[in-house]
Amino acid sequence: MKRASFFLACWLATASPLNAQEASSCATALKAPDRGCFSGSDVPTLASRNILCRPIYTPEREALSLEYFRLHYNPEATSIDIDPRIVVAHWTDGPTAAGALATFRPTRLGGDRPELKKGGALNVSSQFVVDRNGDIYQLMPTTCLARHVIGLNWAAIGIENAGGDPKYPLTKKQLEANIWLVQYLKAKHPRIAYLSGHFEYGGFRGTPLWHELLKNYYTSKSDPGKKFMANLRSGIKANGLELKEPPQGKRFHR
Ligand SMILES: [Zn+2]
Cα 2 to ligand 1 centre (Å): 31
Cα 199 to ligand 1 centre (Å): 7
pLDDT, one tens digit per residue, over 93-151 is 999 999 999 999 999 998 777 777 788 999 999 999 999 999 999 999 999 999 999 99
Cα 180 to ligand 1 centre (Å): 20
Cα 224 to ligand 1 centre (Å): 7
Q: Please state the rounded mean pLDDT for residues 5-19.
A: 38
Q: For the whole model, what pTM was predicted?
A: 0.89
> What pLDDT shows up at residue 22?
52
Distance in angstroms between the alpha carbons of the first and the last residue of the chain: 34
pLDDT, one tens digit per residue, over 163-214 is 998 999 999 999 999 999 999 999 999 999 999 999 999 999 999 999 999 9
Cα 223 to ligand 1 centre (Å): 5
User: Are 152 and 209 contacting, i.e. CB atoms less than 8 angstroms apart?
Assistant: yes
> What pLDDT shows up at residue 24?
75
Fold of 3-8+28-238: Lysozyme-like (3.40.80)
Cα 144 to ligand 1 centre (Å): 18
30 has a pLDDT exceeding 80: yes
What is the pLDDT confidence band of residue 251, given thresholds at 50, 70 and 90? Answer: low
Cα 220 to ligand 1 centre (Å): 10
The chain-wide mean pLDDT, for the chain, equals 89
Dihedral over Cα of 139, 142, 143, 144: its sign: positive
Task: Put the strands of the sheet holding 128-130 in their side by side order.
Answer: 51-53, 136-138, 128-130, 156-161, 86-91, 194-197
E-assigned strand segments in the chain:
51-53, 86-91, 128-130, 136-138, 156-161, 194-197
pLDDT, one tens digit per residue, over 59-76 is 999 999 999 999 999 999
Cα 20 to ligand 1 centre (Å): 30
> What pLDDT shows up at residue 23?
56
Cα 97 to ligand 1 centre (Å): 14
Residue type, 199: F
Domain boundaries, the chain: 3-8+28-238
Which residues make Cβ contacts (< 8 Å) with residue 40, sequence separation at least 6? 48, 49, 50, 51, 136, 184
